[in-house]
A and B are shown apart, each in its own frame.
Chain A
Amino acid sequence: MYSEKVMDHFSNPRNVGEIENADGVGLVGNAKCGDIMKMYLKVEDGVIVDVKFKTFGCGAAIATSSMATEMVKGKTLKEALQLTNKAVAEALDGLPPVKMHCSLLAEEAIHAAVEDYMKNHPEAVI
């Protein structure tokens, strides 16, 4: 039911972990529904220089987290805010319909981390 790309990102997830003293942290989802994503950003001059994630969830949740981090690494905050769940799902060669909410969670986690950065750095302009 999962594409090869989903299985690849699930079995070898990229950017797993935490960033100490991260510039922005986003936490979305809840354990009751079975999915929690936490994203950590390191930002320099408006560019995401490092990103890490931790996810409690199914195969699709882990794969979308991994793909989302790859898609925003090296990008500007503005570009990161433009990341959509559709783009994440497409980059994974699609997700089963019942798993699309996982990609939405990945989008929300990235956006939440950028927003957290903005809150911590009110002077930043994007």
Chain B
Amino acid sequence: MNRIYMDNAATTAISAEALNAMLPCFGQVFGNASSIHSTGRDARKKLEEARRTVAGLLGAKPNEIYFTSGGTESDNWAIKGAAFANRHKGNHIITSQIEHHAVLHTCQWLEKQGFEVTCLPVDEYGLVNPEDVEKAITDKTILISIMAANNEIGTVEPIAEIGKIAKEHKVLFHCDAVQAVGAIHVNVNDWNVDMLSLSAHKFHGPKGVGALYIRTGCKVEQFMHGGAQERGRRATTENLPGIVGLAAAMEKAVNGMEENAVRTMYLRDKLIDGLLKTIPHTRLNGHPMKRLPGNVNISVRFIEGEALLLRLDLAGIAGSSGSACTSGSLDPSHVLLAIGLPHEIAHGSLRLSLSDNNTEEEVDEVLKVLPEIVTSLRNMSPLYEQFLQEEK
């Protein structure tokens, strides 16, 4: 059975370019980039080349790029590091209700350390209102952290507008751009961000590696203590294969973005329109226009998300859901609740996330298979039975 992979917001397949760039680092370029000898210098050369590539793609300077173990570390470092480094100025942090847990749980932990956090609500599409950000700023505000695009519902946030506000009020601005890099235009200057998180495996790079952009002059505490790597700000021997893979993947993703986005958006819209048309009692979650090129998120009423995912998997289709059963708790996704979905509708959510690897044939196959699965699950749903009786 041919497998159809539509869970690219979770992770992506590694690109040939990234893999080929990495392979020498598992062989002859094995050196420690901090070593003085030529084996070490070979590694250093690749490391700094990767840093220049990443910086160039973000509109940053190479010495503003710090490699990390991934998006979660970048978010943790940015938020905790900025909070503690600027504690003398204030203790107030602004974020939104739909951030990734790497941001939300970090902010919740900071609350226990004496910081105050304002978690801004979003509208029905998951959009943060820049005016709300401005209104929330007090003389104690030291940091704003808002994501570029939401990982579940794909809504693209008005980052440039928020960045402008942050700059005017001289508040540090961190942006979790994990879902955005390689999918939409990302530029640290256009956005006025002071810190930006990214993760390689979301754009066909390897897992376990990411980067944090820290603008020159932005005060951030050191996160990992030890050696003098990353200009003394992030200790530990650099993950050279990962870093080289990240840079190669990012180069391909960002340079091919415009062409890929057109194609992926066509597939996305065909999938969304097809599903909403063929399956009654479904709704699109997230913004209809301001959304990531590859994100499809629908709620299918009267059925539960995990059952839907398992049935899809049996048919060879990989997706994900924000249902409680897949979140590992009794509550469905915090993002779906934040956009105002009642629990029972949030439980029936399905996310299909596309990349440039997906084809129109795959979309057609999903459009054929998914309605049949929904019918079968609805036929055994007491909620559907109740709905039909009430309709009579």
CB-based contact B380/A13 at 8 Å: yes
Q: Mark B89-107, 1 if CB is under 8 A from A, else 0.
A: 0000000000000000000
Q: Taking the complex as formed, is A98 at the interface, i.e. its CB lies under 8 A from any CB of chain B?
A: yes
Question: Given A56-B302, A56-B304, A58-B307: A34 and B380 within 8 A (CB)?
Answer: no
Within 8 Å CB of B304, what residues of A?
A: 34-35, 56-58, 61
Chain A binder among B128-136, B363-371, B381-389: B381-389
Which of B202-210, B276-284, B320-328 makes up part of the contact surface?
B320-328
Contact B382 A59 (CB under 8 A): no
A 19-36 binary contact with B (CB < 8 Å = 1; else 0): 000000001000111111
Tell yes or no: B3 within 8 A of A by CB. no
- Whether A55 pairs with B382 at a CB distance below 8 angstroms is yes
- Report the Cα distance A53→B385, complex, angstroms: 12
Q: Which residue of A lies closest to B324 (CB)?
A: A34
Of B307, B330, B332, B383, the contact of A36 (CB 8 Å cutoff): B383
B381: A residues at CB distance < 8 A? 54-56
Q: Which residues of A contact B307 (CB under 8 A)?
A: 10, 57-59, 61-62
Asked if residues A34 and B302 are in contact (CB atoms below 8 Å), the reply is no
B314 and A11 contact, CB distance less than 8 A = yes
B380 x A55 contact (CB < 8 A): yes
Is A10's CB under 8 angstroms from B347's CB? no
With A34-B324, A34-B343 as given contacts, are A62 and B380 in contact (CB-CB < 8 Å)? Answer: yes
Tally A-B pairs: CB < 8 A.
Answer: 73
> Are A31 and B347 interface neighbours, CB within 8 A?
yes
On whether the beta carbons of B382 and A34 are closer than 8 Å, the reply is no
Closest CB in chain B relative to A12 CB, distance in Å: 11
In whole angstroms, what is the CA distance A38 to B55 when docked? 58
Chain A interface extent, by class: 20 to 34
For the complex, what is the distance from the CA of A59 to the CA of B347, rounded to whole Å? 13
From residue A62, how far is it (CB to closest CB) to chain B in Å?
Answer: 6
Considering the chains assembled together, what is the distance between the CA atoms of A17 and B379 in angstroms? 8
* Chain B residues closer than 8 Å to A27, beta-carbon distance: 382
Nearest CB on B from A99, distance (A) = 8
Name which of B303, B310, B314, B328 has the most chain A CB atoms within 10 A of its CB.
B310
Known A-B contacts A34-B325, A59-B307; A54 and B382 likewise in contact (beta carbons under 8 Å): yes
Cα-based distance from A99 to B145 in the complex (angstroms)? 35
Determine the distance from Cα of A98 to Cα of B325 in the docked complex, in whole angstroms.
Answer: 9
Closest to A36 in B: B382
Within 8 A of A (CB), among B307-354: 307, 310-311, 314, 323-325, 328, 330, 332, 342-344, 347
Instruction: Choose from A10, A18, A35 the contact partner of B310 (Cβ within 8 Å).
Output: A10
Closest to A16 in B: B380
Q: Give the CA-CA distance A110 to B330 in the complex, in Å.
A: 23
| CB–CB A18/B347 < 8 A | no
- Residues on the A chain within 8 Å of B342, using CB: 32
**A37 located at the interface, meaning its Cβ lies under 8 Å from any Cβ of chain B in the complex:** yes
CB neighbours (8 Å) of B306 from chain A are 58-59
Determine the residue in chain A with the shortest Cβ distance to B346: A34
B332:A56 contact, CB within 8 angstroms: no
Cα–Cα distance between A55 and B325 once the two chains are bound (Å): 15
**Which residues of B have CB within 8 Å of A16?**
379-380
- Nearest-CB distance from B288 to chain A (Å)? 26
Determine the chain B residues whose CB is within 8 A of the CB of A13 once the complex forms: 380
In the assembled complex, how far is the CB of residue B17 from the closest CB belonging to chain A, in whole angstroms?
Answer: 34
Question: What chain A residues lie within 8 Å of B330 (beta carbons)?
Answer: 33-34
What's the least CB distance linking B253 to chain A, in Å? 32
User: Which among B325, B343, B382, B383 is the interface contact of A58 at CB below 8 angstroms?
Assistant: B325
Given A32-B344, A57-B325, 12 other A-B residues pairs in contact with their CB atoms under 8 A = A10-B310, A11-B311, A13-B380, A16-B380, A18-B385, A27-B382, A34-B343, A36-B382, A54-B385, A55-B380, A56-B303, A58-B325
Q: Which 3 A-B pairs have the closest CB atoms?
A: A31-B344, A58-B306, A58-B325
